[in-house]
Amino acid sequence: MRTIGWGIIGIGQHADRFIAPAITRAKGARLVAVVSRDMGRARAFAEKHGAQGAYDSIPDFLRHPDLEAVFIASPNALHKEHTLLSAQAGKHVLVEKPMALTVEDCWAMVEECQRRGVQLGVGFHARQHPAHQEVRRLVQHGVFGDLVLLQGQWARGVRGQKSVPPATGLRAWWSDPDLAGGGAIMGMGVHIIDLLRFVSGQEVTEVVAMTDGQSEAKPLEDLAIATLGFSGGAYGMLVCSRRLPDSLNNLVVYGVNGRAVGYGTVGTAVTGRLEVETQQVQTTIAYTAGDMYQAEVEAFQRAILEGGEPPATGLDGLRVCQVTEAIFRSQREGRRIALSLV
């Protein structure tokens, strides 16, 4: 297998903690270039993670001779711009979630990558947790029968904290509504939306939601709760928050023949355990090792080298964006929002 040369746009904490190390560890991958508005930061990041080139200009970055795939980890509002520039330069794109802030921007990204003949994937790393993949497999094999209810939660917080302080440093843009587009939903909720779609094989067709944001006084929510109606008749419950210090970050799937629970499987690490209790299957599996981000990079590379689709496509990102827009609209308008499938 030949080696894919990777570059990163947006070298903040997420890229430093997860993405650059994942590319470095991935089989057949090499980090060749990074770009930042600050050349000093770019050089320091490149040196730390072994990249060949450091740039403060995206056009120069995209001309790096060994660059073939770009991971976009810039602020959410810049994902569209950076995806289009990368695709126009003939580079494959793996863009961090949320894919973009509007469905229109998502469509533009999908269409440009199709036009340029490059792969477009979205960083829904939770699809790579083996517990979630096993639940999906069991659903596909009909072990649970017709699905009835799906529940997903991802939250964090600090004990005694009544409100969430503004983000600072390299994460300061998360406190800017124009750059972030949302709070807990954009940070964690989008993963739950996609995960429920992934394990169920169904699309969200209606949304009822409440948040503590989406107002003039507080544009960015710290807590969001949503009920989702799915195309196959199941219902879903989503909770995401930055105010729950002891959050149970679980995935639960109920069918007419039993249930599956991923205890502590929702997050950034391959941890937790899966319990399955049905007429056909009774099992418990514990997870202590693995790297979902590395698996994400390697799966995207297979799509480049072998054809086919990445694990999470641009269309997946677009459909999640539809749901996030509906959640925000439901909160503002205080009513149920129906979605049309695309």
Nearest to 277 by CA among 252, 294, 296, 297: 252
Along the 342 residues of the chain, how does pLDDT read in single tens digits? Answer: 799 999 999 999 999 999 999 999 999 999 999 999 999 999 999 999 999 999 999 999 999 999 999 999 999 999 999 999 999 999 999 999 999 999 999 999 999 999 999 999 999 999 999 999 999 999 999 999 999 999 999 999 999 887 888 887 778 999 999 999 999 999 999 999 999 999 999 999 999 999 999 999 999 999 999 999 999 999 999 999 999 999 999 999 999 999 999 999 999 999 999 999 998 899 999 999 999 999 999 999 999 999 999 999 999 999 999 999 999 999 999 999 999 876
Examine the fold and report which residue of 71, 92, 124 is the final residue of a domain before the chain moves on: 124
DSSP codes joined into one string, 231-261: TTS-EEEEEEESS-TT----EEEEETTEEEE
- Tell whether 189 and 324 lie within a shared domain: yes
How many angstroms separate the CA atoms of 132 and 311, rounded?
13
Cα-Cα-Cα-Cα dihedral of 35, 39, 45, 51, to 10°? 60
- Tell whether 118 and 21 lie within a shared domain: yes
Within-domain flag for 82: yes
User: Do the Cβ atoms of 251 and 132 come closer than 8 Å?
Assistant: yes
33 CB neighbour count, 10 Å cutoff:
25
- Tell whether 133 and 191 lie within a shared domain: yes
Residue 322: both structure tokens together? 């539809």
Within-domain flag for 296: no
Question: How far, CA to CA in Å, does 235 sit from each of 56, 67, 201, 323, 331?
Answer: 47, 43, 13, 14, 19
- Tell whether 208 and 276 lie within a shared domain: yes
Dihedral pair phi/psi, residue 208, rounded to 5°:
-130, 125
Within-domain flag for 308: no
pLDDT of residue 167: 83
Cα-Cα-Cα-Cα dihedral of 125, 131, 135, 138, to 10°? 130
Dihedral pair phi/psi, residue 193, rounded to 5°:
-55, -50
- Tell whether 101 and 176 lie within a shared domain: no
pLDDT of residue 342: 66
Mapping DSSP to helix (H, G, I), strand (E, B) and coil, where does residue 262 land? strand
Within-domain flag for 201: yes
- Tell whether 283 and 145 lie within a shared domain: yes
Q: At what angle do helices 130-140 and 190-200 cross, to 10 degrees?
A: 40
- Tell whether 247 and 119 lie within a shared domain: no
Model pTM? 0.97
- Tell whether 78 and 131 lie within a shared domain: no
Within-domain flag for 318: yes
- Exposure string over 312-334, b if 16+ CB within 10 A, otherwise e: bbbbbbbbbbbbbbbbbebbeee
| Structural domain count, the chain | 2
- Tell whether 72 and 170 lie within a shared domain: no
- Tell whether 114 and 130 lie within a shared domain: no
pLDDT of residue 166: 82
Within-domain flag for 307: no
List the domain range (segments joined by +) for residue 322: 126-291+313-338
- Tell whether 41 and 151 lie within a shared domain: no
pLDDT of residue 280: 87
Examine the fold and report which residue of 124, 159, 184 is the final residue of a domain before the chain moves on: 124
DSSP codes joined into one string, 185-231: IIIIIHHHHHHHHHHH---EEEEEEEES-SSSS--S-SEEEEEEEET
What CATH number does the domain containing 285 carry? 3.30.360.10
Examine the fold and report which residue of 106, 124, 142 is the final residue of a domain before the chain moves on: 124
pLDDT of residue 169: 79
- Tell whether 258 and 114 lie within a shared domain: no
pLDDT of residue 341: 76
Within-domain flag for 66: yes
pLDDT of residue 164: 85
What CATH number does the domain containing 57 carry? 3.40.50.720
Within-domain flag for 108: yes
